Amino acid sequence: MTEPMIPVILGTARPGRRSAQVAGLAVERLRSKGFDGRLIDVADYAITGTETDEDERKLDGYAKLVAAADGFVIVAPEYNHSFPGELKLLLDSTYDGYNRKPVGIVSVSSGLLGGARMTEQLSLVALALEMVPVAPTVHVREVEEAVEGDEFSEEGLESVFDQMLSSVCWYAGALKAARESG
C-alpha cells in the first residue's frame, strides 16, 4: 500500500521569500507522520497567463500531481490583503484533481496580523476548486522572529501547525475512504 500523498504548495516566487522555510517544515513533518510529503514550488512554474507549449507541459505535470494527491498544504504570504498572483495562476491551471480533498492553509506575514486576510480569500478560491479548507488555519506573524532554522520559536505556533497537519490527514483519510467506496 502506498502512503497518502500530501504535497505542500509554496505560493510565492519572490526573491528572499520567508515562506520557503515554513513550507520546508511542513514537508518534513508530513514525512515524519508517515505521509508522502513533497514540495510544489510556484517558482518552478513561472507562468504569465498567456501559456506557451512549454508552459503547458510544465502545467501538465502539476495537474498530474494534483490528481494523485490526497490532500494539500498551501503556504503563502499576504500581499495587499490577498494571495500572490503566481499562486492564483498555478491553482487556476487545473480543476478536477482538487475535488473533495482537504487543504490546510498557512499564511506568512512579517506584520502583526499574520496574513489572516489572505487566508480568507484563498479559502474561497479553495471552495471554488471544491476542496475542503480545514481548521485550524495557521498564521505565522512576524515571520523573521517566529521561525528559526527548522523550529518554530513563537510559543503555541508549533502546536497549531501540528493540529492543522493532523486535520488535513484526518480529512484526507475520511474523504479518500468515501471516494473509494462510491
Residue whose CB is less far from a second copy, 30 or 83: 83
Residue whose CB is less far from a second copy, 30 or 175: 175
Residue whose CB is less far from a second copy, 44 or 150: 44
Cα-based distances in Å from 15 to 18, 19, 23, 39, 43 = 9, 11, 15, 17, 10
Distance CA 126, CA 135 (A): 13
For 177, the grid coordinates are 475512504
| Rounded least distance, CB 28 to a second copy, Å | 24
| Rounded least distance, CB 26 to a second copy, Å | 20
Residue whose CB is less far from a second copy, 28 or 159: 159
Type and span of the H or E element at 10? strand 5-10
Interface residues with a second copy (CB under 8 A) are 12-15, 42-43, 46-50, 79-92, 112-114, 116-117, 120-121, 123-125, 127-130, 132-133, 135, 139, 141, 170, 173-175, 177-178
Going by their DSSP bridges, the two strands 5-10 and 72-77 should be labelled as: parallel
